[in-house]
Structure 1
Amino acid sequence: MALRALGRQLRSLNLLPAVQPARFFGAGAHHDDEHEEEEHGPAQTPTVFDKLVEVTVVDMNGIRHRVRGLQGQSLAQALVEYGFPDTYFFPNMGFYTQHIVDAHVFVPKEFWGKVQNVDPESDDGLAVKRMFRDIVQDYQRDTSFFASYITLGAEHNGMTVGIGPIKPWILHSEWAFAGVHDSRNKQFDKPTVEIWG
């Protein structure tokens, strides 16, 4: 209490200088500019919302979905997190990437320049060829690609992709891919995907 009273007395005498907010300036800054803080404001820390990428995905029933992913995430991860049924997915056929879930997607031609280029003779290129040959087969179009090879970036914001069909492909011993795209099963509901079961 005594300190508060002393503080009031000192303020009434105007002996204490007014406390100014700390401001940091570069070498050529004008310290007497009263509007400096208003013009530039404090630096904004990036948030997760600054890293969001929104893609419209047309499922195999023709329904549009607004799928949100993070920059640096693969489109396949964003599709899985959104909750598409596991009839849409199959394992990537790369030697080291068989644990990665993949999906056949149609990418609009205007976005092809924004999709990773895969060297056809690399391990990834051989996996892509194998997936087209063994899984997509005659459903391949000029715009076909695989979702695990599309790394989302700001340039993909607003892109529309379609989920492409695949040939009958047994994902679980309980049921086979037979054109049923509204299964309640979600990817990772079960601990493993039995490919050959």
Structure 2
Amino acid sequence: MALRALGRQLRSLNLIPVVQPRRFFGASAHHDDEHEEEHGPAQTPTVFDKLVEITVVDMNGVLHKVRGLAGQTLAQALIEYGFPATYFFPNMGFYTQHIPDAHVYVPKDYWGKMPNIDPESEEGGAVKRMFRDIVQDYQRDTSYFASYITLGPELNGMTVGIGPIKPWILHSDWAFAGVHDSKAKQFDKPTVEIWG
């Protein structure tokens, strides 16, 4: 009791210094409050600032909120999310062979944000081959390949549908009657084993 009373008396006399919380800036930076109010503390971008959220409709009509980082391809985001391996196939590009890709339907509202590929280039030839050999009659006006879509803030909130492929052309053990799900995921085996 006596200690509490003594503490109250000392606080009322302002003899106990009030310790201000420390603020950490750069090693050599010395800021006063006035300067801080003018410019504010430095803001470092976080991973959260780079997140892009895409709604993906799978082959069974189920919606998935897929998050990826800006600069990542949509194919990479789909793989990291854990879509079945049967949704993917090897890209046929000269420099991108064996990179997993997926057929997606992009809404017309976002079509202008998709990169243009010169149909006469090597990459354009690879895209034509993938449509001819893998997508076949599942191709629509809004069909695109996920490895060519780079995530960025302008695509945040976009909804895409996973488009069917003809997996039995590439994988005889995946010749199934219209069911595009399997327990195997893209990360379950090295890519070389999947496509080799």
TM > 0.5 between the two?
yes
Q: In the alignment, is residue 42 of structure 1 matched against residue 50 of structure 2?
A: no
Which range moved further: 76-85 or 166-175?
Answer: 166-175
Code of the aligned partner of 1:83: G
Summarize the alignment of residues 34-113 of structure 1 with structure 2, pairs less than 5 Å apart: 36-38=35-37, 40-113=39-112
CA contact (8 A) 2:94 2:122 kept: yes
Other-structure match for 1:4 = none
Q: TM-score, normalised by structure 2?
A: 0.78
Please give the root-mean-square deviation of Cα atoms over the aligned residues, in Å: 2.4
Other-structure match for 2:140 = 141
The Cα offsets for residues 10-43 of structure 1, whole Å up to 9 and x where unpaired, read as xx9xxxxxxx98239xxxxxxxxx6552354201
Q: TM-score, normalised by structure 1?
A: 0.78
The Cα offsets for residues 131-171 of structure 1, whole Å up to 9 and x where unpaired, read as 11111111110100000000111101000000001124355
Q: In the alignment, is residue 122 of structure 1 matched against residue 121 of structure 2?
A: yes
Summarize the alignment of residues 8-23 of structure 1 with structure 2, pairs less than 5 Å apart: 22-23=30-31
Decide which structure has greater helix share: 2
Code of the aligned partner of 1:139: Y
Aligned residues: 170
Identity %: 78
Any gaps of 5 or more consecutive residues in structure 2?
Answer: 1-14, 16-22, 24-28
Are residues 194 and 47 of structure 1, via their aligned partners in 2, closer, same or farther at CA, if it must alter by over 3 Å? closer
Secondary structure at the counterpart of residue 56 of structure 1: strand
Cα distance in 2 for residues equivalent to 1:153 and 1:104: 19
Code of the aligned partner of 1:51: K
Deviation at residue 177 of structure 1 after TM alignment: 4.8
Cα distance in 1 for residues equivalent to 2:177 and 2:194: 16
Any gaps of 5 or more consecutive residues in structure 1?
Answer: 1-11, 13-19, 25-33
Deviation at residue 189 of structure 1 after TM alignment: 1.1
Code of the aligned partner of 1:90: F
The Cα offsets for residues 112-138 of structure 1, whole Å up to 9 and x where unpaired, read as 111111111111111110011111111
